[in-house]
Amino acid sequence: MIWIRNGERKDLPAIHHIENEAILNGNATFDLHEKSIEEKQEWFTKFEGMYPILVAEWEGEVAGYAYLSPFEEKLAYQSTVELSVYVYPRFHGLGIGHSLMTAILDKGKECGFHTVISKITEGNERSVQLHIRYGFSYVGTLKEVGYKFDRWHDVLLYQWFPQEH
């Protein structure tokens, strides 16, 4: 059974582990070096109370997390957020990504954000299909903007307007 709830400080070790796995073994993030637990604590402190951070539990274990963060730092962008969803690989295929997506988009609506942006590394079809299922529209490609695992990666941009859903 999947349980979605607000992320708490006690979840940071699990969030830290999930993110570092994504950094080392995937291209969903363009971070190249593992994060320290202190960096995750700073991240949590920065966004706590301002932007939603959710975790998904599967049989009592944190299996994934999702959050909304500022799209850009400039004030004119304050109603635009970027979506991030991470699921630990051994929990893929259990509906955790779908559950996190539903919950985080509901939170985005509740917070009154105008638009949600997702940046998806080209080739991540699982993420593309998830976004399309939730009504995101493809709005463009940034060519060769990330260099990881000895090659250049394109980033696909998807956008979602809460007031339309």
CATH number at residue 38: 3.40.630.30
The reply to whether 38 falls in a domain is: yes
The reply to whether 124 falls in a domain is: no
Q: Which domain holds residue 101?
A: 2-117
The reply to whether 26 falls in a domain is: yes
The reply to whether 21 falls in a domain is: yes
The reply to whether 18 falls in a domain is: yes
Assessment of whether the complete model's pTM goes beyond 0.85 = yes
- In the chain, how many domains are there? 1
The reply to whether 17 falls in a domain is: yes
Give the residue carrying structure tokens 């060769």.
Answer: 144
The reply to whether 61 falls in a domain is: yes
Token pair belonging to 152: 């250049």
Residue-level pLDDT at 139: 99
The reply to whether 70 falls in a domain is: yes
pLDDT, one tens digit for every residue, the chain (165 residues): 899 999 999 999 999 999 999 999 999 999 999 999 999 999 999 998 899 999 999 999 999 999 999 999 999 999 999 999 999 999 999 999 999 999 999 999 999 999 999 999 999 998 999 999 999 999 999 999 999 999 999 999 999 999 888
DSSP secondary structure code for residue 74 in this structure: S
150 Rama class: left (phi>0) / alpha (psi -120 to 50) / beta: left
Residue-level pLDDT at 109: 96
What pairs with residue 3 in β-bridges? 57
Give the residue carrying structure tokens 């274990």.
Answer: 61
Give the number of other CB atoms < 10 A from CB of residue 19: 22
